[in-house]
Structure 1
Amino acid sequence: MVDAVRARQLGIVHMLRSRSNVPARELADRFGVTERTIYRDITTLTAYGIPIQASPGKVGGYRLAPDTALDPLTVDSDHALRLYVLGFLDPPNTDSTAGDRARAAGISETVQEVMRRLAQRIHFDTADWYWRDEGSGHLPVLRTAMLTATALEATWRTKNGNQETALLKPYGVVWKAGEWHMVAARATAGPTRFRLNLVDRLQPTDLTFTYPEDFSIRDWWAAAMEDYGKGEERVELHVTPAARDEMLRLSLKSTSQVHEHGDGSLTIVLFVDRWEWLIPLVSSYGSDVTVTEPAPLRTAIADQLRRALAVYDTAALPGPAPPDGLPHDDSRLRSTHGRHPGA
């Protein structure tokens, strides 16, 4: 059933590409569904960024925005990602392919060839060299739940190592810094984000929900990223010219301050929720990035560097291994994920 829906939506996009205006009634007749179903299909496609415009009146209908037509010869990675999430591009090791769904819906050989080329030439690598993202296996279930507004029973690991289970309403999915994130809401709470590689189980239910019309996944995510890590703790860093360019590539918050000096160095002021997550980041720069304040952070970094030096100092006296000075949480990931996507 879901495959037929995706194939129909792909067919709608194809018809809109070949015509300047297609009435809803004609689309309904072409695919053997009601106009109400076509309205839902258009809503789904536009929600994923397909640029469909509606023209009112008796001779009205739908068309693709002329300034952003989906030309298969110039399709970019953003359009490809939308197609992937919608299910029109599948990994090569799956049984069901975009071509199978297209043929089932009677879509032309020309469009099938376009989709075959996309699937052959576009690859989504869901792992980076320094960690493995295990969350992409949840995408088929999550994708279906989002398109059908179906609630999911989810079990995930919390930061303290425990497991939590709850009924969630999936609002969207985001790819960032080598990981997939699900944006979902509990029954009586607002949306929050869940890293899919920490989700152990996503089970569809027979419950449906009403997707909030005023919700924008793009706007919500931007606000969430702005709030992430912000707080009242003031941290002042001195940056030498050698580290200047790289530090300026960090995703700074609206509350951050950057002061440039005549010798090319910088003073960066951050306001964070806790300074512990800065220890691995600042330590990795050695003498090129130093903490001016607060004093406890300076002490923590100095202790961290002493422990590191003790490990590498061959003249150190035998004794128990130095303790691990890094916080036992996601601090290292937070420091690497904080880098600007364009870095």
Structure 2
Amino acid sequence: MTVDPARARQLGIVHMLRSRTNVPARELADRFGVTERTIYRDVTTLTAHGIPIQACPGRVGGYRLAAETALDPLTIDSDHALRLYVLGFLDPPDPAEPVEERARAAGVSDTVQDVIRRLAQRIHFDTADWYWRDEGSGHLPVLRTAMLTATALEATWRTKDGRQETGLIKPYGAVWKAGEWYMVAARTTGGPTRFRLNLVDRLQPTDLTFAYPEDFSVREWWARAMEDYGKGDLRVTLRVSPAARDELLRLSLKSTSRVHEHDDGSLTIVLFVDRWEWLIPLVTSYGPDVEVTEPAALRTALVDQLRRTLARYAPTEPPGAVPTPGLPQDDSRLRSTHGRHPGA
């Protein structure tokens, strides 16, 4: 069987990352005789197939494998999964070709094939945001087993307002997003929702099983959830200077957002959001390069925020003055990078 050179190179990339803590993109490009742009595409392809590769910031930069991998060595041999990918099992160039023949050529048993199918259906790496933390991964062994065996879990989690809840849940999938793990699960009634694993205090297996919906894809569900997250009817218009143009164009916007380019290199970005409070830290971080032109209430809130910031460095308020509330303390700050860019 002929192996696609690109797939063979991608397998080599993963093996290099397994043996090193950090490999610069330039070194990978030199090793395989390709451009750095090709390496970037290879890494994007590998992460899309569930290989947890992290981008390392810093002067040298590069890539490494995440400390917590999606494929537990005790569950299946990750080399099996890589060989399946390289031989086109996970992303076959010819969908008409029987995948069983490719799997047998890779030396992978029917049992492992079934496990990989289910893992690919239940575990998704959303690499749109490159912020790396390792929170909540201690629950992954229990969650992984429950997903593969369709076992219900008894969970205790904290809500955004600080309350603690306990309930029976059906785990449908796990998603790695912006350096955090999320569990996609349904309660005893209603459809699936997402739980941040770092807000989950306890996951306890039960002796109850559930029927996993055959047509459910965590990747597709997550894409819809991210598109809906933060959307609303409130119109916000941003005027972006040429200096901030490239940075703002890298934000993941919603399908309802609009981007207008001007001859001087500036932008006008129109957003439709559920509430504008989450835009305060985003806009203030760009200083004078991003201006809100509407709504007036957001402009007023930004002025108040900037005044409080200035007062921190050059205090002018009289002693005993009561400070006004600061930035929102929930996860709304992340909303600016959820969804997708209109041109994607």
Query: Which TM-score applies when normalising by structure 2?
Result: 0.64
Distance (Å, rounded) in 2 between the aligned partners of 1:184 and 1:136: 16
CA positional deviation for 1:286: 1.2
1:305 is matched with 306
Alignment partner, residue 51 of structure 2:
80
Map 1:195-206 onto structure 2 (within 5 A).
195-206=196-207
The one-letter code sitting in structure 2 at the alignment partner of 1:80 is I
| SS of corresponding position for 1:300 | helix
Residue matched to 1:121? none
CA–CA distance in structure 2, aligned partners of residues 339 and 306 of structure 1: 33
Q: How many residues align?
A: 248
Cα RMSD for the two superposed structures = 3.6
> Are the aligned partners of 1:311 and 1:322 in contact in 2 as well (CA < 8 Å)?
no
Aligned in 2, Cα 1:174/1:84: closer, same or farther, shift over 3 Å? Answer: same
CA contact (8 A) 2:227 2:339 kept: no
My pick for the range that moved more, 74-83 or 146-155, is 74-83
CA distance in 2, matches of 1:170, 1:258: 38
C-alpha contact 1:89 1:98 (8 A) present in aligned 2: no
- CA-CA distance at 1:335 after TM superposition: 4.4
1:1-343 to structure 2, matched below 5 A, reads 72-75=11-14, 76-77=46-47, 78-81=49-52, 84-88=69-73, 133-313=134-314, 317-320=318-321, 322-335=323-336
> Which string of whole-angstrom CA distances, capped at 9 and with x for unpartnered residues, describes residues 176-196 of structure 1?
101001000111211111110
Larger Rg: 1
Give distance in 2, aligned partners of 1:190 and 1:70.
41
Contact 2:240–2:268 (8 Å) recurs in 1: yes
Preserved CA contact (<8 Å) 1:167 1:187: yes
Report the Cα distance in structure 2 between the residues aligned to 1:182 and 1:270, rounded to whole angstroms.
Answer: 28
* Structure 2 CA distance for aligned equivalents of residues 184 and 210 of structure 1: 13
One-letter amino acid of the structure 2 residue matched with residue 84 of structure 1: T
CA distance in 2, matches of 1:297, 1:245: 24
How much does 1:87 deviate? 1.2
Letter in 2 for 1:190: G
What's the offset of the Cα at 1:131?
Answer: 8.7
Give 4+ residue runs of structure 1 displaced > 6 Å after superposition. Answer: 64-71, 128-131, 336-340
Which residue identity is paired with 1:88? P
Between the aligned partners of 1:163 and 1:132, the Cα distance in structure 2 is: 24
Q: 1:73: Cα distance to partner?
A: 3.0
- 1:177–1:337 CA contact under 8 A, matched in 2: no
Cα offset, 1:166, TM superposition: 1.1
Residue 132 and residue 319 in structure 1: after superposition, are their counterparts in 2 closer, same or farther (change >3 A)? farther
Counterpart contact for 2:71–2:78, Cα < 8 Å: no
In the superposition, relative to structure 1, how do residues 296 and 198 fare at CA in structure 2: closer, same or farther (>3 Å)?
A: same
Change (3 A) 1:306 1:227: same
- Shift of the 65–324 alpha-carbon distance from structure 1 to 2, 3 Å rule, reads same
Quick one: distance in 2 between partners of 1:193 and 1:163?
16
Partner of 1:5: none
1:79-114 CA-partner distances (Å, limit 9, x unpaired): 534993231279xxxxxx989xxxxxxxxxx99xxx
Retained in 1: the 8 A contact 2:150–2:170? yes
Matched residue SS, 1:269? strand
How far does residue 322 in structure 1 lie from its aligned partner after superposition?
A: 3.3
Closer, same or farther: CA 69–223 of 1 in aligned 2, 3 Å: farther
Which residues of structure 1 form unaligned runs of 5+? 1-19, 21-63, 91-96, 100-109, 112-123
> For residue 93 of structure 2, what is the aligned residue in structure 1?
none
**Mapped contact 1:250–1:338 kept (Cα < 8 A):** no
Looking at structure 1, the residues matched to 150 and 311 of structure 2 have their Cα atoms a distance apart, in angstroms, of 56
Match of 1:181, as an amino acid? Y
Following the alignment from structure 2 to structure 1, what is the Cα–Cα distance between the partners of residues 292 and 153?
Answer: 45
Cα pair 1:249 1:339 within 8 Å, conserved:
no
| Mapped partners of 1:167, 1:265: distance in 2 | 51
